[in-house]
Structure 1
Amino acid sequence: MESTTTSTSRPERPVAIVCVGLAGAGKTTLMQQIYAYLHQKKEPPYVVNLDPAVTNLQYQANIDIRDSVNYKKVMEEYGLGPNGGIMTSLNLFTTKVDQVMNILEKRAAPDPEKPDRKPIKRILIDTPGQIEVFLWSASGSIMLDSLASSFPTVIAYVIDTERTTSTATFMSNMLYACSILYRTKLPMIVVFNKTDVKDAEFAKKWMADYEAFREGLTQDENSNAFGGVEGQGAGTGYMGSLIDSMSLTLEEFYRNLNVVSVSALKGTGIDKFFEAVKEKADEFEKYYQPELDRRRAERDENKKKQREKELEKMMKGMSMGGTASSSLLGDTTYKEDDDMEPLSPDDEAEDDFDDEDDREGLQARYEAAMRDQQDSTGADASFAKYLHTQRD
């Protein structure tokens, strides 16, 4: 009941959909189909392309990494291969993440100067086909954390259904999906793409019914899928046992997954995809957002403790005496203004705290001010700024 109240009191925010998938899964084509679907409904999304190596986009990106970073020049300048070039390009682009988030937040809010422009409802994020370059890199983590701190964020993991017909490749994709979920800690949808070529019902059945998967595994073993002599079940050794045990392990994982079947080529299943997105966005607000808030509060508390330790260390250093303090600071004392002019001898005399305040009283007043202002921006002011206000 409490979670519902929190989510309903929060103003409606656009949903960020991050499309990830192995190379050749049809991820960018799916993005184009989603883009067209939303435009048809007169709800144009805000699109961000994070793939610096893509040659031709099938949709119009509002923010494109290629406008900021030249992938080929990065490879030449740093002597990198394709994967290293993509990762370095993402790292360079991540330095602009604050600018990107400011743009997205402005577009998510009504514009008083342009009342006819509707706030965006969905943000689409296209990522490189080299899935590990984005999801297991620092730049990818920063981008996802920044998105999740401002918007409900959903991961759409796109799978090539035609290449998942064997139990071994199916299990590989499911392990990828599991690792993505635990890496990002965000709601995820498994999207079986290319269903115009191969229907995904077999995969859904394998996820829902262990006996059906076990039957498919037995067929693969008998057909020499894992090596051995065909028809003699010679492949029923290590590989079969490993896949069987992993399937049992992932049963709980399957229960909490949203699975949809789509054809990026023909556009079928897109409505079901957005139903799953809506469900996962609600799940984000109900379960993930409180956890993000808790982690943010924990980080703030740690920062506060760190500031208190630094203050205590500083006060101990000041207790060494004026002579020692002045020798550490050097011969020249500067005003805290724009020009940074040296103080005159008269100013230095006025700036002598030993004659005016005792150290213990100053520390007590500073700590009291910190407590009174801990919910305002003044709580983050440095000790030097506090001293400056006392002089003024």
Structure 2
Amino acid sequence: MGYAQLVIGPAGSGKSTYCSSLYQHCETVRRSIHVMNLGPAAENFDYPVAMDVRELISLDDVMEELGLGPNGGLVYCMEHLEDSLNGWLDEELDNYLDDEYLVFDCPGQIELYSHVPVFRNFVEHLKRRNFNVCVVYLLDSQFMVDVTKFISGCMASLSAMVQLELPHVNILSKMDLVTNKKDLEEFLDPEPTFLLSELNNGWLLSMQS
């Protein structure tokens, strides 16, 4: 049985940085992993790319040839990947042994994990290939100091959990950018009445302004 991580989360949440750090850690402890790029618009990597979806389809090419915008082009690319599961993807996966550990660095468009079935079908295909799959969901820690952003981030993560139906690890990234880390304590173990009071205060302030 092989093992796989799907590294997902909003754009700019640090997915590629996480993949790079994980690769470096595994190199240090002499454990073999392979990081796969599933971002058709990605350009720079701090890790060796074992498989690159841009060999199948590129966002720039799609936008130029079909006249689509970035979001529509990305959805088109991922749907093309979905159509190629039994072809291109299988050929790439055949390069690895049955007990390999694969990490998929995924694009940051949240609709791909909550609204469309692309990654659900991707996961089902990996399972049929005898991979045990889990999700690593990255959320920018700066979401955790504002109650409205906190609820939005939690709902987006929950939506991905429901859609993908996989073991799910949520990680707060970019902790070094949080100026007052004590503020996080109120959100790490949230009390509902506190969240509601903060929401009400925010609404009152917005109405007064």
Q: Matches of 2:113 and 2:190 in 1, distance apart?
A: 33
Gaps of 5+ in 2: none
Residue 187 of structure 1 is matched in structure 2 by 167
Residue 331 of structure 1 is matched in structure 2 by none
What secondary structure does 1:227 align onto? helix
Equivalent residue for 2:97, pick from 105, 108, 112? 108
What secondary structure does 2:44 align onto? coil
From the two aligned structures, give the one with the greater strand fraction. 2
Q: Matches of 1:95 and 1:192 in 2, distance apart?
A: 33
- Is 1:167 equivalent to 2:165 in the alignment? no
Which ranges of 4 or more aligned residues in structure 1 deviate by more than 6 Å? Answer: none
Residue 107 of structure 2 is matched in structure 1 by 128
Count of aligned positions? 206
Give yes or no for contact 2:85–2:122 (8 Å, CA) kept in 1.
Answer: yes
Q: Matches of 1:219 and 1:97 in 2, distance apart?
A: 46
What secondary structure does 1:228 align onto? helix
Letter in 1 for 2:148: A
What secondary structure does 2:157 align onto? helix
Q: CA RMSD in A?
A: 2.6
Residue 116 of structure 1 is matched in structure 2 by none
Gaps of 5+ in 1: 1-12, 110-118, 231-392
The two structures have a TM-score, normalised by structure 1, of: 0.48
- Is 1:74 equivalent to 2:54 in the alignment? no
Residue 39 of structure 2 is matched in structure 1 by 51
What secondary structure does 2:4 align onto? strand
Residues 227/125 of structure 1: CA separation in 2 closer, same or farther (3 Å cut) = same
What secondary structure does 1:31 align onto? helix
From the two aligned structures, give the one with the greater helix fraction. 1
Q: Matches of 1:225 and 1:19 in 2, distance apart?
A: 38
Give yes or no for contact 2:114–2:159 (8 Å, CA) kept in 1.
Answer: no
Larger Rg: 1
Shift of 1:194: 1.1
Letter in 2 for 1:229: Q
Tell which has more relative contact order, 1 or 2 (C-alpha 8 A, sep 6+).
Answer: 2
What secondary structure does 1:189 align onto? strand
Where in structure 2 are the equivalents of 1:323-338 lying within 5 Å?
none
Shift of 1:145: 1.3
The two structures have a TM-score, normalised by structure 2, of: 0.85
Residues 15/76 of structure 1: CA separation in 2 closer, same or farther (3 Å cut) = same
- Is 1:196 equivalent to 2:176 in the alignment? yes
Residue 28 of structure 1 is matched in structure 2 by 16
Shift of 1:167: 1.0
Give yes or no for contact 1:166–1:220 (8 Å, CA) kept in 2.
Answer: no
